[in-house]
Amino acid sequence: MRLASLSDKLFGALTVTASGRELERFFNTAYKQGIVMWTVRRLNPAKISFMIRPAAFAALRPLVRGTGIRLQIERKTGLPFIWSRLSRRKGILIGVLLCGLIIYTLSSFIWFVGVSGNKKLSQQQILQVAESLGVKPGVWRKEVDTTQLARELKEKIPQTAWVGVTLNGTRVNIQIVEKKERPAPPPGKGNLIAAKSGLITDVLVIKGVPQVVEGQTVKRGQALIAAEQNPAAQGFVRARVWYTGVGSAKLVDEGVRPTGKVSASLRIKIGTKVIILTGKNSPYQLYSEQSTVKALPKWRNIQLPVELVTVHYQEMTHYKKVMSKEEATKAAEAKASSDLLAQVPAGVKVLARKTVVVKNSNINLATVHIELETLEEIAVHQAF
Amino acid sequence: MVFKQFQAKLGNALDLPQEVMLNAPKITIVGDVQIWIENHTGLIEYSTEKIRVNTNLGHLNVTGRDFSIVKLLPAEILVEGKLQRLEFGEA
């Protein structure tokens, strides 16, 4: 019946009641004329309702003439009737069309311009440049050429390394990547001194008088290139620098650590009184606790003395880890390595690396030193 | 009579469906909720408790409850409701 009612909606259907005597005869003559009827129901002994296509109703008229049967349309269903009702009420139709037109028109303009990725450049500045290039809220969408805008923005704002422009509906997104600034030459007067102790391998003087020669050992803070007069000393001094990373590990390690089990207890604190809502004091024997307090927001000067306290318990357990000499040495080496990593600046050239297992008086301890030799720039500016 | 017998024999020989050869109604019943009568020759009586249809074999009387005619076509009639009895009566 689904399909039938669907076609009723599409082509329209009339629910008609016929009242009178000898209705069966009327139906026989009707369907013999090729009129299709469905959902025929007897409402009472003298009345039958049925459905037909709207166009068939006119054909029924001559059949009932002179039989005393009265036909009455009870209900009109389906699209054709909705359509005719709509076309009678033109206001709605015009409204719908107008609404669509307004949405379409409004969505063909740029409404927002967004900037992202800017750190030093202000949003205002970028928006101003974009506006001067003809991109601002109110501009017709089709007029925005994203690739051209990106190129022009990059040209106009020299501090940008890359500019991307995307058009998202009524929104223009300007994405910016700023250039990394080159460090400015030191202002005013000043010497170049050693930032680290090391063995000088190269000295390149741009301005000033060299104070050290190649092959010389320098201490941290020692002058490398002295300024003559006004301009600051400039140059490069490269040196071999040594670092030592130290790490040690116990062969027998004891302590407490969390087991991973947690539980929480929710409490309300009113003044000094604490009401436990959920949970208990602590379900664990050995634990560490941590509580978070949520107070009601302060209103004017009134702070209600009611707080919601959540106490998180973390179960702890004793542990004892026994390692062999080799394992302890390995662990110590890993620690030494990370200790070293914290000292050595990134990106320097490593010349040599040596791992030394230190002999220890403490039997329970394995200690490892890692010695690293690097070649790096050690000259830093020091103002007078 | 002779002709009818001949017709039946011919139908059997050609393996044709009976309703075609005899011009008999074909009645399909689904459970006790739907009855579909093809090849009828007229609706004689319709009420919610009783439907009488004319066929070449005489009247077909269907009795039950809550009958409604779902489809009424020149040679087909589809009725839904609660079927109780179906019988062929004299014309």
A46 CA: distance to closest CA in chain B (Å)? 10
Q: B27 is in which domain, residue-wise? A: 23-89
pTM above 0.95, yes or no: no
Determine, yes or no, domain membership for B75. yes
Tell me: pLDDT of B7 over 80.
no
Looking at residue A29, what is its pLDDT? 87
Tens of pLDDT, residue by residue over A284-306, are 878 888 888 887 777 777 777 88
Comparing A270 with B86, the larger pLDDT belongs to: B86
Judging contacts by C-beta atoms under 8 Å, the chain A residues touching residue B67 are: 42
Judging contacts by C-beta atoms under 8 Å, the chain B residues touching residue A24 are: 43-46
Q: How far apart are CA A14 and CA A37, in angstroms?
A: 10
Q: Is A50 in contact with B45 (Cβ distance < 8 A)?
A: no
Judging contacts by C-beta atoms under 8 Å, the chain B residues touching residue A41 are: 48, 68-69
Determine, yes or no, domain membership for B6. no
- pLDDT averaged over every residue in chain A: 85
Determine, yes or no, domain membership for B66. yes
Domain containing B41 — which CATH number? 2.60.40.2000
DSSP string, A271-336: TTEEEEEES-S-S-SSEEEEEEEEEPPPBTTB--SEEEEEEEEEEEEEEEEE--HHHHHHHHHHHH
CA A187 to chain centre: 42
Give the residue from A15, A21, A31 with the most B CB atoms within 10 Å of its CB, the best one to mutate: A31
At position B57, the amino acid (one-letter code) is L
- ipTM, 2 decimals? 0.73
The number of distinct structural domains making up chain B is 1
Cα→Cα distances A181→A120, A158, A159, A160, Å: 11, 11, 9, 10
Give the residue from A36, A40, A50 with the most B CB atoms within 10 Å of its CB, the best one to mutate: A40
List the structure tokens of A288. 């560490």
Cα→Cα distances A101→A28, A97, A104, A120, A144, Å: 53, 6, 5, 42, 22
Could you confirm whether domain A2-83 is CATH 3.30.70.260?
yes
Determine, yes or no, domain membership for B58. yes
Tens of pLDDT, residue by residue over B23-61, are 888 999 999 999 999 988 888 888 889 999 988 888 999
| Nearest residue of B to residue A34, measured between CA atoms | B74
Tell me: pLDDT of B79 over 90.
yes
- pLDDT averaged over every residue in chain B: 86
Q: Is B72 in contact with A23 (Cβ distance < 8 A)?
A: no
At position B24, the amino acid (one-letter code) is A
At A194 the three-state DSSP class reads strand
In the DSSP assignment, the letter for residue B90 is -
From A323, A330, A325, select the one nearest A360 (Cα to Cα): A325
Tell me: pLDDT of A204 over 60.
yes
Q: Do residues A52 and A63 touch, judged by C-beta distance below 8 A?
A: no
| Nearest residue of B to residue A26, measured between CA atoms | B43
Determine, yes or no, domain membership for B40. yes
Task: Give the CATH superfamily of A112-178.
Answer: membrane protein fhac (3.10.20.310)
Q: Is B72 in contact with A38 (Cβ distance < 8 A)?
A: yes
Q: Name the least confident of A123-137, B9-23, B34-48.
A: B9-23
Give the residue from B30, B35, B40, B43 with the most A CB atoms within 10 Å of its CB, the best one to mutate: B43
Q: Do residues A37 and A52 touch, judged by C-beta distance below 8 A?
A: yes
* Domain ranges (residues) in chain A: 2-83, 112-178, 184-251+323-384, 252-322
Comparing B63 with A144, the larger pLDDT belongs to: B63
Determine, yes or no, domain membership for B14. no
- Model confidence band, residue A188 (pLDDT cutoffs 50, 70, 90): low
Judging contacts by C-beta atoms under 8 Å, the chain B residues touching residue A43 are: none
Q: How far apart are CA A36 and CA A34, in angstroms?
A: 6
Tens of pLDDT, residue by residue over A303-349, are 778 888 888 888 888 888 888 888 888 888 898 889 888 888 887 88
